[in-house]
Amino acid sequence: MGIVIYTLTKFMGIFINEDIFFINEDIYRSPDPDKEYQITYFAKSTNVTILMKWILLYRGHPELLTNITKLIKTNPDIINMQCSNSYTALILASRNDHDIVVRMLLDHPNTNPNLKTKYGNTALTMATYNKSDIVVRMLLDHSYTDPNLQNTDGNTELILTSRQGNDSVVRMLLDHPDTNPNLQNTCGDTALILASRFGYDKIVRMLLDHPYTDPNLQNKNGYTALILASFYGINKVVRMLLDSPNTDHNLQTKRGYTALILASEKGHDIVVRMLLDHPNTDPNLKTKYGETALIWASKFGYGNMVRMLLDHPNTDPNLQNKDGVTALIWTSYNKHDIVVRMLLDHSYTDPNLQTKNGDTALILAVSHNGHDNVVRMLLDHPNTDPNLQNIRGDTALILASRQGHAKLVVLLKYCIHDWNERLKMVEYNKECLDERIMYSINYHHKHVLLNRSRLSLCLLDE
């Protein structure tokens, strides 16, 4: 057909040889207003003006620049006319990166740079889509351009370019005095949230350096820039956000997840270290289901993270989720020997805490395929009570016997005997202690009464 098709892809911008838009049409004839023309690769429209047609054909017919110049002088009202998809001449020129035409249109006093397509996109939106730095610069220099307009998805130019990672356009937008860096799209995402989520550290730096950027804004699911950067393990961005004096490290998503909890769940050691090194980080916050950072790290057997969390002076190893499961119970159930050892070595760990079903770490270690090493470690702990029962009345010994774990049965019987003997000794010592206490109390009471009598006698003598 003799049609040369070429594409220049710049993110969303796709340019195609203009002949495909107006096949078998006289380039100087006005388009039929009722006819549907292909004005972009994705869109068709009626009510296309002759100015729009010439702008679409300009790439292959640069001689049309003279016609465009004459047309806007003789018919200035045509500049802001919109086709059925609400495209204007300026929007099409910006979308197709026709910087000379854009300059000509912006120099005309009638041009409105803020008109939108039916999806809410402006000329500036199209230029930022295409990463057309020259066109973006022209539009931002125009005195009437509003950089904060939002499309139907709520995206501003800053949000779109931050999502794209186009740092040069972000710089231009942030240098504009009217740019608001805190606007949110329909999902609640800000420019900083998206730049952080995708690891564009240069853009994150620029946004944090802006005096009005709020790093604590949350999207509709409650995620902040820090929470998303921690979730995806983007160390450099996490560092920048933590260094920002305004960042709140303990904000929670709608499900209660913090940056620390998500980093612990995903196994991002470096992020966990950075968060724990910050004095404001609370390691004991829970999700809506009751999980803490330590519970998640223990559940998956992340030894390095468990060590870091346990070394934090404020970490409570005995916190339970909504089912009553602790870090020790999870890691015992999942047979993470090293983590079990770490938790048992912590001075505040209680090995006898029970789930809502009454199961202890020992009961679950025995019942779940008989984790011999874990069972031995639990029984070696001086505070482990082997006699505890779950709500079904099962003890660790009953379960070991039922499942045929002969070695565990012998070990449990010995430990139960030893535990019971210790209990007897404790009771004996308690009785002896009680006798001493009672003797001391009685002795003290007698002396108090004696002294009181002596005082009374002295008063009477006076």
427: pLDDT strictly greater than 90: no
Calculate the alpha carbon distances from 378 to 160, 333, 382, 406, 423 in Å: 54, 12, 9, 18, 18
Beta strands in 301-365 (DSSP E): none
Give the whole-angstrom CA distance, residue 148 versus residue 125.
10
CA proximity to 79, closest of 104, 43, 46: 104
4: pLDDT strictly greater than 50: no
**Per-residue pLDDT, 274:** 97
**Per-residue pLDDT, 419:** 66
457: pLDDT strictly greater than 80: no
Q: Report whether 91 contacts 117 (CB < 8 A).
A: yes
Domain borders along the chain are 1-145, 147-255, 283-432
**Per-residue pLDDT, 429:** 53
**Per-residue pLDDT, 440:** 54
441: pLDDT strictly greater than 90: no
**Per-residue pLDDT, 138:** 97
**Per-residue pLDDT, 327:** 97
**Per-residue pLDDT, 12:** 39
Provide mean pLDDT across the span 316-345: 96
Nearby residues of 44 by Cβ (< 8 Å), 6 or more positions away: 36, 37, 38, 85
**Per-residue pLDDT, 23:** 65
Amino acid at 406: A
Residue with tokens 């006798």: 435
330: pLDDT strictly greater than 50: yes
Question: What architecture is the 1-145 domain classified under in CATH?
Answer: Alpha Horseshoe (1.25)
Q: Do domains 1-145 and 283-432 have the same CATH topology?
A: yes
pTM for the model: 0.84
Least confident of 20-34, 41-55, 199-213, 379-393: 20-34
Provide mean pLDDT across the span 338-351: 96
155: pLDDT strictly greater than 50: yes
- The SS3 of residue 139 is helix
Q: Which fold has domain 147-255?
A: 1.25.40
* Neighbour count for residue 149 (Cβ, 10 Å): 19
Looking at domain 283-432, its CATH class is: mainly alpha
Q: Quickly state the pLDDT bin for 21 (edges 50, 70, 90).
A: low
Q: Quickly state the pLDDT bin for 425 (edges 50, 70, 90).
A: low
Q: Quickly state the pLDDT bin for 405 (edges 50, 70, 90).
A: confident
251: pLDDT strictly greater than 80: yes
Q: Report whether 162 contacts 202 (CB < 8 A).
A: no
Give the whole-angstrom CA distance, residue 314 versus residue 296.
17
